[in-house]
Amino acid sequence: MYRILSADKPAANIYRMVVEAPRVAQRCEPGQFLIVKNEEEGERIPLTICDYDREKGTITIVFQPVGASTTKMAELKEGDHFMDIVGPLGRPSDLTELSEEELKKKKIIFIAGGVGTAPVYPQVKWLYEHGVKADAIIGAKTKDLVILEKEFSEVCNLHITTDDGSYGREGMVTKCLEDLIAEGHSYDHCVAIGPMIMMKFVSLLTKKLGIPTIVSMNPVMVDGTGMCGACRLLVGGEVKFACVDGPEFDGHQVDFDQAMKRLQMYKTEEGRAMLKLQEGETHSGNCGNCSDSADQKQEGSGKEADA
Q: Is 229 in the site for ligand NAD (CB under 6 A)?
A: no
Among 30, 31, 65, 113, binds ligand NAD (CB under 6 A): 113
Q: Which residues contact 165 (CB under 8 A, 6 or more apart)?
A: 171
Residue 222 binds which one of ligand NAD, ligand FES, none, with CB within 5 to 8 A depending on kind?
ligand FES
Question: Site residues (CB under 6 A) for ligand FES?
Answer: 221-224, 226-231, 241-243, 283-284
Residue 173 touches which of ligand FES, ligand NAD, none (Cβ within 5-8 Å per kind): ligand NAD
Q: Are 57 and 85 in contact (CB under 8 A)?
A: no
- Upper half-sphere CA count for residue 181 (Cβ side, 13 Å): 19
3-state secondary structure of 230: coil
Smallest separation (angstroms) from ligand FES to the CB of 192 = 21
The yes or no reply on residue 174 touching ligand NAD (CB under 6 A) is yes
| Partner whose footprint covers residue 229, from ligand FES, ligand NAD, none (CB < 5 to 8 Å by kind) | ligand FES
Asked if 146 interacts with ligand NAD (CB under 6 A), we say no
Q: In the complex, what is the shortest distance from the CB of residue 247 to ligand FES, in angstroms, rounded to a whole number?
A: 9
Nearer to ligand FES, 6 or 278 (CB): 278
Using CB under 6 A as the binding rule, whether residue 226 contacts ligand NAD is answered as no
Decide if residue 168 touches ligand NAD (CB under 6 A). Answer: no
What secondary structure letter does DSSP report for 116?
G
Which residue has the CB atom at the shortest distance from ligand NAD? 114
Please, what's the largest Cα pairwise distance for the chain? 57
Encoded one letter per residue, x for contact with ligand NAD by CB under 6 A and - for no contact, window 47-76 reads -x----------------------------
Q: Which is nearer to ligand NAD, 194 or 295 (CB)?
A: 194
| From ligand NAD, ligand FES, none, interface partner of 193 (C-beta below 5 to 8 A by class) | ligand NAD
Residue 114 binding target from ligand NAD, ligand FES, none, CB below 5 to 8 Å by type: ligand NAD
Number of helices (H), then strands (E), belonging to the chain: the values are 11, 17
Partner that binds at residue 163, options ligand NAD, ligand FES, none, CB closer than 5 to 8 Å by kind: ligand NAD
Whole-number Å distance between alpha carbons of 23 and 214:
28
- Contact status: 224 vs ligand NAD (CB under 6 A): no
**197 is a contact residue toward ligand NAD (CB under 6 A):** yes
Amino acid at 173: V
Range list of H helices, 77-129: 100-105, 117-129
Closest CA to 90 of 303, 290, 250, 249: 249
Q: Which is nearer to ligand FES, 66 or 209 (CB)?
A: 66
Cβ neighbors of 294 (< 8 A, separation 6 or more) are 227, 283, 287
Give strand pairing partners of 37.
Answer: 84
In sequence order, which residues have a C-beta less than 8 Å from that of residue 67 and are 6 or more positions away? 302, 303, 304
Residues 6+ apart with CB under 8 A from 152: 117, 121, 124, 136, 138, 158
- Which residue ranges make up the site for ligand NAD (CB under 6 A)? 48, 113-116, 119, 139-141, 163, 172-174, 193-195, 197-198, 201, 216, 218-219, 306-307
